[in-house]
Structure 1
């Protein structure tokens, strides 16, 4: 069971010098806490699957990376 999920995304935005800008990359930093140590590996694997299936990441023209942290608590 997941007992906590927090994400603090960051992104790199490039300005073009003409008043416009665009994202070059976004990094998601999900921090997931699971109830039992036996669930930690499954939680890590779920992040890889979620990245592959992410409709937002698949819909934008810049990379979206995941740097997940899984804790037990």
Structure 2
């Protein structure tokens, strides 16, 4: 599925939250205030950070891969 993410807007500035695994200032924030999408930004830059936009299914697949230690590994 291809999603046009160019026009996705995250207007809810209070919708940004840091990961519960945050250690110090080096972390990301996510925003789920726009139905069907998840925004990801660098917490150090705050509102000046570029926003990466993912579909909800893409984010779920990514998190599943992280939890299963599959991100960054090379298939055998």
Coarse TM-score class (shorter-chain normalised): under 0.3
* Bigger RCO of structures 1 and 2 (CA < 8 A, at least 6 apart): 1
State the structure with more CA Rg: 1
Q: TM-score, normalised by structure 2?
A: 0.25
What TM-score does the superposition give when structure 1 sets the normalisation length?
A: 0.25
